[in-house]
Structure 1
């Protein structure tokens, strides 16, 4: 593994990891300045942080520092309790795609969602097959618009412990199966975001990374938890 201790040009900081400093919430504008001061040339910001600072203001600041977006977090959360909720999810993902395009992100990361309402402790249904079907349909619908504007979508499989409330896509294999079904020609519009924290346990991981190749591997998230 390369030593980045003296050269930060190839690093990207997930801004969620820096939003709390000394017990206080830090604005994304400050985080961007801190990254620029340290020679870090890319970040992966979260939508709520950008919304708090203003989309256009954040885009201008990124351009002024020459900082790129390795990805934009997040789209997804497609499953819903009813048809109105499904439509609202698609509308929100369309907005996320537009925001990612304005910020010139390399991809929009999709945390796909799971049982609607589970995050609040009261799921509206417990049929995970239904949730996965709604995820597939939501990605398919969002992909059409993403292709139009030129914003790749990156499906991020999460650890199975989060299958009920955050993401019902939990293996790289499953994410790639969706990619192959919706983007068989590998045109660059759909791929995966691989987070070591979530997929380290998978016995098929190495084979599926090889299967993904550079055409599908749109983002790679590392951490030091193990």
Structure 2
């Protein structure tokens, strides 16, 4: 749905997909947020369309502890949203170097630690990452 995000709203995008024989989608969270999670879930379920994934969680690396916690909290919300849709998975775009950092080793460790931190919630919610 990302390719038509500017041309139409969520419900219309679902209709267009179905008219063209597309029965599985992977919307982005900002598209869902525009109509609200409950309404987006209703649109998906009432049209019998399947979510192969919800885009995106991730962006784990952070420049400080407060941002790190915000990133983890956002990933937990993304997991909850994916679960509401019964999506096949939550797509992770894990992130890069935080701020002005040049420490790729630390950024990679934050990705590892971030996934490890949210994995129990994903497993309990039945959401694959």
Runs of 5+ consecutive residues of structure 1 not aligned to the other structure:
1-14, 118-122, 154-226
The TM-score normalised by the length of structure 1 is 0.56
1:153-206 CA distances to partner (integer Å, 9 max, x unpaired)? 0xxxxxxxxxxxxxxxxxxxxxxxxxxxxxxxxxxxxxxxxxxxxxxxxxxxxx
Cα offset, 1:28, TM superposition: 1.5
Supply the distance in 1 between the matched residues of 2:35 and 2:98 (Cα, whole angstroms). 29
Q: How does 1:58-73 map to 2 (within 5 A)?
A: 58-73=40-55
Partner of 2:77: 95
Give the structure with the higher percent helix.
2
Confirm or deny that 1:20 pairs with 2:6.
yes
How many residues matched? 129
Supply the distance in 2 between the matched residues of 1:67 and 1:101 (Cα, whole angstroms). 15
Cα offset, 1:149, TM superposition: 0.9
Cα offset, 1:126, TM superposition: 1.1
What secondary structure sits across from 1:134 in the alignment? helix
Which structure would you say has the larger RCO, counting Cα contacts within 8 Å and 6 or more residues apart?
A: 2
Runs of 5+ consecutive residues of structure 2 not aligned to the other structure:
none
Supply the distance in 2 between the matched residues of 1:20 and 1:82 (Cα, whole angstroms). 34
Give the structure with the higher percent strand.
1
The TM-score normalised by the length of structure 2 is 0.96
Instruction: Provide runs of 4+ in structure 1 moved above 4 Å.
Output: none
What secondary structure sits across from 1:57 in the alignment? helix
Cα offset, 1:36, TM superposition: 1.6
2:57 to 75, 88, 107: 75
